[in-house]
Structure 1
C-alpha cells in the first residue's frame, strides 16, 4: 500500500462509501423492498419522479411530450442548474429503464458520492486516514440527508466538500513551488462539475470562496489569493450560467408571461436558518425523549418548515461551537491556525443564513431567489466535522508513542462513528420509507397497467381537475403533484397534467376550463383527445357529481381503477356534436400589453424596439386551416410583416394612425407555430425595429374545417360588423 498510496486512498474511500450505502439501504427499507419502489413517493418525490421518467422517455428533462398535453411539458421557464445530476440520472436510466429504480439508485448513490467527496477533501485538509474515513461516514449519514430525500437534488450534496476544500486551500498560507499550478485545471474541472448540482450549493460555494480569498489576501498581503478566488468564482458562475442557458433562452422567448418562480424577500426569513434547530436533535432521533423535544419545538414554534432538517447532530454541533470559540479566542496574530479558519467559515455561513442576517439583507436589496437559506446547514455540518476531527488529531499528535497514538486514535474514531450513527441515523424500524410507499406504489402501478390496456397507443388523456404545475397548493388528498402518478406508471400515453404554468399548454387548458362541460368534451374530441380521467381524491365528493355529468355525455366509464381512485371515460367523436378544435394565439416576447378585449378578441401593443413573437396553437395531430382576424394601427407609416420560419405569411403597407383590418387564412401545423411580427418605416428593404410600434386589436383565431364553413364565417362577419368585404380584406401572400 505504501508503494501505491492513491490505490490505498481509493480503497478506503470506496469502503466508506459502500458502508454508507448499506446503512442507507437498511434505513430506507431496501433490505426487504424492491428498488423499483422509491423512498420518496409523495409531494416533491412525485415531481422528481416526473423529471426522471422524462429523462428516460425523452433523453433529457427540458421537453416531455407525454406531459402537458396537447403541447407537452416545457421545463424551460423553470430554472434549474442541475445538469450534473441529470447526466447521472441519464446514465442510470439507460441501465434500469424505469423511473422507480433510477430514483432509488440515485438516492443511494448520493450517500456514496458524499462519502467519497468528503474523504478526499478531509485528507487534503490534513486529516489522517482513519479520522477522514470517520468524517466521511458522519457527513454522508447526516440526518439532513435522510430528511431531504423528497428534495432529491438537495440530498445529493457531494459538491459541498469540493467548495469548502477550495475555500480552505485559498485560506491557507501560500504554497511553495510552482508545481502547484498544475492542479488548477483539475480544480476548475471539479468546480464546473460541482456547479451543476444546483444553484444553492453553487451560491454558498461562491460565498465561502469569496470570503476566504479576501481574508487570505489581507492576511498574506498578496494579490494571488484574490486572483485565484475570483477565478474560482468565475468558473462556478460560468458553469451555473451554462446550466441555466436553456432556461434563460426560454424565458426570453416568453418575456412578459407569468413569472414561474416569483419569490418574496420576506421568505428568506421564513426559510431562514435558526441555531436552535441546528442544536436540537433530529426529528427522527432514535431516543424517544430526544425526538420528542424536537417535535415539541416543531409543534409550538412559529414558521417551522424545511428548516427542521437543519439538525447537525451532537458531533457536528460540538465542532461548530468549538470552531466559533477558537475564532473568538485566538488573536489575529495566529493566521496559520486551521481551526480558526474553520471558525471563520462557519461564522460567515451562519451569519449569512440566520434569520434576519446578511442573507435577508441580500434578499431585500439584490434578489429574493435564494430564499431557502436553511439549506446551508449541510455546509456548516461539513466544516464543523472537519473542525472537530482536526482538534481530535491535534490532541492525538501530542502523544509521543506512535503505537499508542494510533491505537487511541483508532478507538476514538470508532467511538465517534458509533455515537454519530446512533445520534444521526434514523431508526430503520421507524423510518422505513420504502415500506411505507410500497402499498401506494403498487396500487398506482396496477392502475397504470389497467389504463394502458384500456386505451390505444399514443392516446391523449385529459385529467380532471386541472392542477397547475409546478408549484400549486395541495388539492385535497392528491397533494400538489398527485396527478403525476398516472404518467409515472404508463408508457405511450400523453397526459394533460404537467402543463407549465403560464405557458402554451397551460393557457390552452385554462381556456378549456372556462367552457361548459358539454362543449368542452366536444372540443377535446376535436383536439384528438381519447379519454377523460377523473381523479376522485381531488374532489370533496369523491368525484360523484363530475362523473355523473360526464356519464350523461360519454356513457359509463370504460374503467374504474383497481383501487377505485379514478374513473376513465372514453371520448367517441360519433356520439358528440361536431365542434372545431380550440385554436389560440398566445403572447410571446416583444409585447408591452396583451389582454382580452370586451368583444373577446385580443388587444395588444408591441414594444416597438424589436420584432414580436406570437404563438399559434393547433392542439390536433394534423394540419388544420386557420383563420386570423385582427386590426393593426401603426404609429408611423410602415410595412408590416408576419413570418413563420422563413415563410412570409403576411406583408402589407400600413398608414399611421389608421386601423387596417386583416382577415388571413393559413395552414397551421400540429403543435406550436411561432409568428414573428415586425414593422419597418416605409421605404426600408428589410424588417427591423420600429421606434413607434403598433397596436393590434380584435385578434380572433378560428379553426376552419371546410370551405363551406369558411364562407359561412365570412358572411356572418359581414352581417355582424359591416366592415369587411372581399375588396377590403388584404390577404397578403399565401
Structure 2
C-alpha cells in the first residue's frame, strides 16, 4: 500500500509538471517567442540579466570588473540574500554553454514548474485530492503575480519556496512536530541533535535555508506567520514542546539569514558601510503596502477589456497603486470564502466543535493564516513594526502571493465539499462518484482560471527582440573597433541602482553594455554611495576640453551617449563633443546610442604626461579608484 501511494504521488508530480508546461506555453505563446533575446528587456529585468552575465563570466555575482570602471561593481554594497537564484544561474550557464540569454529565459520558465511542484505538496498536505491539487497548483504557478513580476523581478518570480515553507507553518498550526522523533528520556546531547536533524528535522533545516536564500521578503513573511502560529498553537494545543520547536525554527532562520549576509557584513567591516547604496524612504512601507480591494480587483491588462477598464478606473481614482498585486478570480473567491470562515468561527456558539483534520478544520486554519497575513501586510498593518526596525522591508503588497496560496487551497477544498454535497443531493441512479464530480469541477476551474489569468503582459513583446538585436549590432561594432579590455565612458552618469527615470529610461539601461560585449569595460554600473563610483558626476560638469583630458587620463578609449536619456535627445552633448572628436563614428539602428572614439585624446595625453603622472592624476580624478 505504501509503495502504491508513492507511485500515485509521483504520477501527480509528473502530471502537474506537464500541465504547467502546456499552460505556460499557451499563455506566453511560446511558439512565437524569439529565443535569441530575453522575454523582457527593460527596467529591473536588466539588473537580473547583469547578475546572470556576471555569474556566468566570473563564477559569482558579487564583483563585476567590467562595470564601474576603474573601481568595478561590488555588490556587497547592496546586500541581499537571493543566492539560490544565482546558483541556478551558474548551473544553467554550464548547461547552456555560457549563453546567458538562454540561461535567463530558461530559469524564468523553470520558476513556473518549480512553483507548481512545491504548491502540489502544500495542497496535498492540506488534504486536497490528487486531481484538484494538480489543477490548483497549476493556477498558483501562473498566478497574475507571476506575470506581474515576470523577468523584470525575476527573483520574486521564483517564489517556489513559499509553498514548502507554508507546510511548516501549517504543521505548527496543527500542533505537529517540525523536528525529529520524540527523544528518549536520558538521551545524550549528540543523540538529541542527531534525532532532531534527521528525517523531518533535516527537511525543516533545508526548507528554511532555501527559503532564506530565495529572498528575504518571502522569508520574513513566513517567519512572521510562523511566530504567530506558534503562539496560537500553544494556546490551542497546550504543548510547550511544539511551541519550542517553532521557536527553534525561527532561530534557525535567523542563523541562515546571518550566514547569507556574512560576506556583505565582512566587506562592510573592511571597506566601511555604504548606506547610500540602499536608500529607503520612511513612507515606502505605506506606499508599497497591501490594499485589500486592489488585490481582489482584476489585473490592469486583463483579457476582458471591461475588467481591465475597471482596474484602470480604480487605479486612477484611488492612488497610490504600487506593483499591482492581483489574486485572480479563483483566488479571490477563495479569499472571500476564508474571510467568511474566519467570521463564522468567531460567531460560532461556544462548545461547538469541528473534527480535527476535516475540511472544515483545515479551512479554519487557512482562514486564520489568511487573516493574519492580511493584518500584517495591509496599509497601516503590523508589518509597519518590522519596517520601523528596518526600512529595507517595504514591499508588503508582495504578501499577496502567500494569500493567493491559502485562498486557492481553500477554493479547492470548497469545490471538493461541493462535490460531496452534490452527489448526496442527486436522486437519479446511477449517480456519478465524488471523484468524477471533482474531476469535472477541477476541469472547469482550470479553464476559468487560465482564461482569467492569461494577461497581456504574459506574452513577450515582439519589439523586444528588435531592440535587443539593435543593441547587439551596435555594441559588437564598438567592441570590434577597440582592443580587448578597453574602457568606454557612458553619458550621462546615472547612479546605480534605483536611480531616477528619464524619458522612460532607467539607470539599469547602462548595464546593457556588458550584455552585448565580452571584454570591454564601462564607466556605469558601479554601486552608488562611494566616491570611487560617483566621480563622473563631477567630471561631466567640467569644460569639454578638461572633461576629455580627464577621461583620457583615466584610460577611456571612447564615449557612448545614451541619447534617449536626455531631454534634448543628447543633441547638447553631441554638439559639445563633435568639435573635438568629430561626428559620431557609429549610431545604433534605433538611433539611441552614439559612439565617439577618443584615440586622438589618448595620444595627446600620452605625449604630454608620463605614465607615473597619469597614474597619480587618475587617482585624483577617480577619488582613489584609478
Say whether the fold is shared (TM-score over 0.5).
Answer: yes
Cα gap change, 1:497 to 1:26, in 2 (>3 Å): farther
Given that 1:170 and 1:229 are in contact with CA atoms closer than 8 Å, whether structure 2 keeps it comes out as: yes
Match of 2:368 in 1: 344
Given that 1:20 and 1:112 are in contact with CA atoms closer than 8 Å, whether structure 2 keeps it comes out as: yes
User: Post-superposition shift, 1:548?
Assistant: 2.8
Match of 2:442 in 1: 413
Counterparts of 1:13-412 in structure 2 under 5 Å? 13-96=13-96, 97-149=98-150, 150-174=152-176, 178=182, 182-255=199-272, 257-306=274-323, 308=324, 310-330=325-345, 331=348, 334=353, 336=356, 337-364=361-388, 366-397=389-420, 399=423, 404-412=433-441
User: Post-superposition shift, 1:514?
Assistant: 4.2
Match of 1:443 in 2: 470
User: Post-superposition shift, 1:311?
Assistant: 1.3
Q: Which moved more, 1:526-535 or 1:512-521?
A: 512-521
Aligned-residue CA RMSD in angstroms? 2.6
Deviations 1:557-598 (A, max 9, x none): 332333332222222222457354475899xxxxxxxxxxxx
TM-score, L = length of structure 2: 0.88
Match of 1:481 in 2: 508
Match of 2:585 in 1: 558
Counterparts of 1:461-480 in structure 2 under 5 Å? 461-480=488-507
User: Post-superposition shift, 1:300?
Assistant: 2.4
Deviations 1:671-719 (A, max 9, x none): xxxxxxxxxxxxxxxxxxxxxxxxxxxxxxxxxxxxxxxxxxxxxxxxx
Deviations 1:104-149 (A, max 9, x none): 1111111001000000121122221111101101110111100111
- Name structure 2 gaps, 5 residues minimum: 184-194, 425-429
- Name structure 1 gaps, 5 residues minimum: 587-599, 602-614, 620-734
Match of 2:540 in 1: 513
Cα gap change, 1:224 to 1:381, in 2 (>3 Å): same
For the residues of structure 2 that align with 1:49 and 1:114, how far apart are their CA atoms? 21
Deviations 1:330-362 (A, max 9, x none): 247647421111111001100011111112244
Larger Rg: 1
Q: Which moved more, 1:138-147 or 1:292-301?
A: 292-301
For the residues of structure 1 that align with 2:243 and 2:582, how far apart are their CA atoms? 73
- Alignment length, in residue pairs? 588
Find the residue that maps to 1:532 and give its secondary structure. strand
For the residues of structure 2 that align with 1:87 and 1:547, how far apart are their CA atoms? 42
Given that 2:15 and 2:134 are in contact with CA atoms closer than 8 Å, whether structure 1 keeps it comes out as: no
Cα gap change, 1:250 to 1:584, in 2 (>3 Å): farther
Cα gap change, 1:45 to 1:431, in 2 (>3 Å): same
Given that 1:512 and 1:520 are in contact with CA atoms closer than 8 Å, whether structure 2 keeps it comes out as: yes
Cα gap change, 1:85 to 1:156, in 2 (>3 Å): same
Query: Which one has the bigger strand percentage?
Result: 1
Find the residue that maps to 1:567 and give its secondary structure. strand
For the residues of structure 2 that align with 1:160 and 1:538, how far apart are their CA atoms? 39
For the residues of structure 1 that align with 2:22 and 2:262, how far apart are their CA atoms? 38
For the residues of structure 1 that align with 2:211 and 2:623, how far apart are their CA atoms? 40
Query: Which one has the bigger helix percentage?
Result: 2
Q: Larger RCO: Structure 1 or Structure 2 (Cα < 8 Å, ≥ 6 residues apart)?
A: 2
Match of 1:617 in 2: 624
Given that 2:221 and 2:399 are in contact with CA atoms closer than 8 Å, whether structure 1 keeps it comes out as: yes
Given that 2:386 and 2:393 are in contact with CA atoms closer than 8 Å, whether structure 1 keeps it comes out as: no
Match of 1:648 in 2: none
Find the residue that maps to 1:154 and give its secondary structure. helix
Deviations 1:31-84 (A, max 9, x none): 122323222211111111111111111111100011111121001110111111
TM-score, L = length of structure 1: 0.76
User: Post-superposition shift, 1:329?
Assistant: 1.4
For the residues of structure 2 that align with 1:251 and 1:571, how far apart are their CA atoms? 37
Given that 1:454 and 1:558 are in contact with CA atoms closer than 8 Å, whether structure 2 keeps it comes out as: no
Cα gap change, 1:38 to 1:391, in 2 (>3 Å): same
Find the residue that maps to 2:156 and give its secondary structure. coil
Cα gap change, 1:124 to 1:290, in 2 (>3 Å): same
Find the residue that maps to 2:490 and give its secondary structure. strand
For the residues of structure 2 that align with 1:25 and 1:517, how far apart are their CA atoms? 53
Cα gap change, 1:562 to 1:284, in 2 (>3 Å): closer
For the residues of structure 2 that align with 1:359 and 1:437, how far apart are their CA atoms? 38
For the residues of structure 2 that align with 1:294 and 1:279, how far apart are their CA atoms? 10
Given that 1:554 and 1:575 are in contact with CA atoms closer than 8 Å, whether structure 2 keeps it comes out as: no
- Match for 1:578 among 608, 611, 616? 608
For the residues of structure 1 that align with 2:25 and 2:604, how far apart are their CA atoms? 53
